[in-house]
């Protein structure tokens, strides 16, 4: 170990459970972080500081002002910048010796196995069910441990899935919930410090998996309640009937789910249009009304010129403000809330279409 590393990681070297051998394992390790939001932010910073030799970073979103209360790897000056570029700059400032492999792409069926196969441990920082199931399935098929975390309002969860002999995420939840059944953080809110706590737990578990020290969360689900400041764990057993990791698995290839369950999900849906199509409508003067169903603070942060703001919870009380003689294009942050409003409006007889990807896709396409 170079003398510079011995100085940087001196406090690690003093730990008998870790020591020089454990630190060298960290320096040689490859960890993939999927999502650089609330969970991925603290996890990436602490794994870099701990000396993980190679970090793979997967994200294709841009920094929004509403991210900043919890996604601490990004700052005010990063608003509008790609999360990947923002995170990479902060990580390099923490530890310039860490090798960063940047993947500015959606994590999808076409690339999931190749990405997962290239790393020793995967840290799941995603915020939607379709991607979460895809991460799980890819990890099980690859034999790569999946360090899972999730947050909602004041509660968080963490576990290690797809470890040898252990359960996977589908042993806990065999199938994704129906679209719209569970609100996401953009709709229900989340305490800003909560992802920091769970993301740091995930970083801890990744370090333990790499070094072999301690007892991991494989086979256990950690539950945290911030309001009551309680931690508890429940035992999770591998389900022999699990469709992915069971004794006779029925899912042998990766599956893409169409449900849109989180603010970063942009899966294809019925009755929708692309941002390119909307741009063409605006350029040609095609008659339509653009309805923004986000909250006022989101609209104030960034909006599409000419959009009419009616938050999702108020739309049904303001139907008289919507036209029936032209198409209502419904828009939110990324397409989840607007999809539900679109369906409700169509049931009321409106000609409504969902803007796929929402303002995230609009800004990524370079439109203003």
Give the DSSP letter of residue 177.
P
Task: Give dist(CA 14, CA 1) in Å, integer.
Answer: 15
Tokens found for residue 103: 């993947």
Burial 110-142 (b: 16+ CB within 10 A, else e): eebbebbeebbbbbbbbbbbbbbbbbbbbbbbb
Alpha-carbon dihedral angle through residues 234, 240, 245, 249, given to the nearest 10 degrees: -150
Q: What is the DSSP string of 18-37?
A: THHHHHHHHHH-EEEEE--S
Phi, psi torsion values for 103, nearest 5 degrees: -125, 90
Q: What are phi and psi of 331, to 5 degrees?
A: -135, 140
As a whole number of angstroms, the distance between CA 272 and CA 275 comes to 10
Q: Active site residue: 171, 242, 245, 332, which one? A: 332
Radius of gyration of the chain (CA): 22
Q: How far is CA 243 from the centre of its chain?
A: 23
Which entry of 185, 242, 245, 261 is annotated as an active-site residue?
Answer: 185
Give me the residue label for tokens 């999808």: 108
Pair of tokens at residue 365: 């396409």
d(CA 36, CA 83): 7
Q: Cα(256)–Cα(339) distance, rounded to whole angstroms? A: 18
Told to judge if 332 belongs to the known catalytic residues of this protein, a careful annotator would answer yes
Q: Beta strand pairing status for 230-235 and 327-331?
A: unpaired
CB atoms closer than 10 angstroms to residue 18: 22
Token digits of residue 23: 């630190």
The catalytic residues are 185, 332
């Amino acid at each position: 170990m170079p003398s510079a590393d011995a100085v940087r990681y001196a406090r690690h070297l003093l730990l008998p459970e870790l020591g020089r051998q454990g630190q060298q394992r960290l320096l040689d390790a490859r960890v993939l972080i999927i999502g650089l939001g609330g969970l991925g932010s603290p996890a990436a910073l602490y794994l870099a500081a701990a000396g993980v030799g190679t970090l793979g970073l997967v994200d294709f979103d841009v920094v929004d002002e509403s991210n900043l209360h919890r996604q601490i790897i990004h700052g005010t000056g990063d608003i509008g910048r790609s999360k990947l570029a923002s995170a990479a700059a902060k990580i390099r400032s923490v530890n310039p010796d860490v090798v960063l492999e940047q993947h500015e792409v959606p994590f999808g069926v076409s690339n999931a196995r190749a990405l997962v196969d290239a790393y020793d441990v995967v840290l799941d920082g995603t915020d939607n069910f379709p991607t979460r199931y895809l991460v799980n399935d890819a990890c099980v098929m690859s034999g790569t441990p999946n360090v899972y975390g999730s947050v909602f309002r004041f509660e968080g969860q963490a576990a290690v899935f797809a470890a040898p002999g252990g359960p996977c995420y589908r042993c806990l939840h065999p199938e994704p919930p129906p679209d719209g059944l569970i609100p996401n953080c953009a709709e229900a809110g989340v305490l800003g410090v909560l992802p920091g706590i769970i993301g740091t737990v995930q970083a801890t578990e990744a370090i333990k998996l790499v070094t072999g020290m301690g007892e991991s969360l494989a086979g256990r689900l950690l539950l945290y309640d911030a309001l009551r400041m309680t931690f508890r764990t429940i035992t999770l057993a591998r389900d022999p009937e699990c469709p992915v990791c069971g004794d006779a698995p029925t899912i042998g290839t990766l599956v893409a789910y169409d449900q849109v369950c989180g603010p970063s999900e942009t899966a294809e849906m019925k009755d929708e249009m692309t941002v390119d199509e909307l741009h063409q409508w605006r350029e040609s003067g095609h008659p339509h009304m653009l309805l923004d169903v986000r909250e006022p603070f989101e609209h104030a942060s960034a909006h599409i010129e000419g959009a009419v703001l009616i938050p999702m919870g108020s739309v049904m009380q303001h139907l008289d403000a919507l036209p029936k003689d032209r198409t209502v294009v419904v828009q939110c942050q990324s397409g989840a809330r607007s999809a539900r409003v679109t369906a409700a409006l169509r049931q009321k007889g409106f000609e409504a279409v969902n803007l796929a990807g929402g303002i995230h896709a609009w800004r990524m396409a370079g439109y203003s």
